Structure 1
Amino acid sequence: MAALLLAVAGGAAMAQGARLDVLDQRGDLLGWEAVGRLDLPGGFCTGALIARDVVLTAAHCVHDRTTGAPLPAAGMVFRAGYHRGTQIVAQRVRHWVAPSGYVQQPGQRLGAEAIAHDVALLKLEAPVSVAEADPFRIHDTPPEGTAVSLLSYGRGREEVLSRQPACAMTGRYAGGILEFDCSVTWGSSGAPVFVREAGRLRILSVISVASDPGQGTGHAMGPSLPALVADLSARLRGTEAQTPVSAGVRRVSVGDGRGGMAARFVRVPQP
């Protein structure tokens, strides 16, 4: 991948969309039923349906945070529309796939190559009916400054879905890395970043890493999705079972106490 400048990413800029709406009433979830909490051995992430039986999340969510070993699909449950101990539907994960490009050395922060490939698709044991939750489609990369919104569960609000309705895509970098001024916290890993197209919401990216998680400052980064999702979807259609990645892979959570992002990336010029 294109070169990195090894410098600590600054977190001085206040997120434009610091407002956070807690969807505390069951009725607040109308239209967001396809976003859910992904319960994992030892923790949780956020995920979203992109097909009736396929969940989109971050690749680092499906790896053990200490050893980097792939987590068994049998220990994963996706809870669509999760709200205070109940959900619209819960399905166990049959198997999952992640890009071979998602590689990170133990003991190091998530690097550019890993961020650019920090995507996983999870095949559910049974389809979710459209009447229960309508899956979202994937959107291609829009220009910088495009308004986006973020839906996630997080530490301190893991029982209810929260929405940040107004943040923006602030940068695009070599390798397909996108930057957002959305404010995220622990547990927001894999959360869908939405953009509105012709009145309909589409998923632009998923949260990979962030500077100053939970502080309302700094930036979050995630991968561009179309090519990655197309490749992973083809692998799922080929009935490929859970795919281990390199034994050197190590899960790095959003804001895992190691000082946030540790690299700046080569910016892609706007056309």
Structure 2
Amino acid sequence: MTDDPQTLVSTEWLAQHLKEPDLRIIDASWHMPDAGRNAAAEYEAGHLPGARFFDIDEISDHRSALPHMVPPVEKFMSRMRAMGIGDGHQIVVYDTNGLFSAARVWWLLRLMGKRDIAVLDGGKPKWVAEGRPTEDLPPVIRDRHMTVQVQNQLVRDVTQVARASKLNEAEIIDARAGERFRGEVPDPRPNMRSGRIPGSKNVFFKDLLNADGTMKDVDGLAAVFKAAGVAMDRPMITTCGSGVTACILSLALHRLGRDDVAVYDGSWSEWGMFSDLPIATGDT
């Protein structure tokens, strides 16, 4: 792969830059509620050198009943400052699954106007498999101010997505597994309808990854979107179950030259909850 400090970097790249004073590493691990794993406890037991833990559920909008929605700007800024992350830093985000929740924090930082932010390709599993160092020490925090300029074009709410679906104004791309997209299985969240947003197309996020958890090269990514019937020249909105794996699609599309892809933050957790919103099922 070609390292890009604004999208995706290799473990080799990170190892070479590990000692640079303006590098900041974020552990953005998050697990599905039924996974039986505690991301914060795993971070404390061992993380990449100097990494800070980003709690996706805590650094969110607690005024919303929906999971881990985009936090208020003031809350985001205060949490990042508490982590010692601010203007002028090159940020690398990883997670313990390979390439999963790290993309959500990459997108969130882009939404807040940051650009020097990359996901670690293959995440902690690849780093550890290569015998690279980890530690259980808390990082040394040095305060730095963070300036935020929200990029509203990178996020969509339910009203905007409903309009885009009804009027066919954008490619709506769903990152969930095919059986959930088609409504063939019950949604894992209680009291939630099964199906998809009408007119949406399915690109299962795992189809964008190699067997080792790294992301496919640009030719491989392009082939996946083409096979799903995605028109690459149209406006795009990515969605999923709760706004996490949709960001993997946005990361992949950014690598394909699209830096204007919006994420539907509420995703199916919101759409599937409202009986007055239309759904589609099956293959049509």
Q: Which has the larger share of strand?
A: 1
Structure number with the bigger relative contact order (C-alpha 8 A, sep ≥ 6) is: 1
Question: What is the TM-score with the length of structure 2 in the denominator?
Answer: 0.29
Greater helix content = 2
Larger of the two Rg values belongs to structure: 2
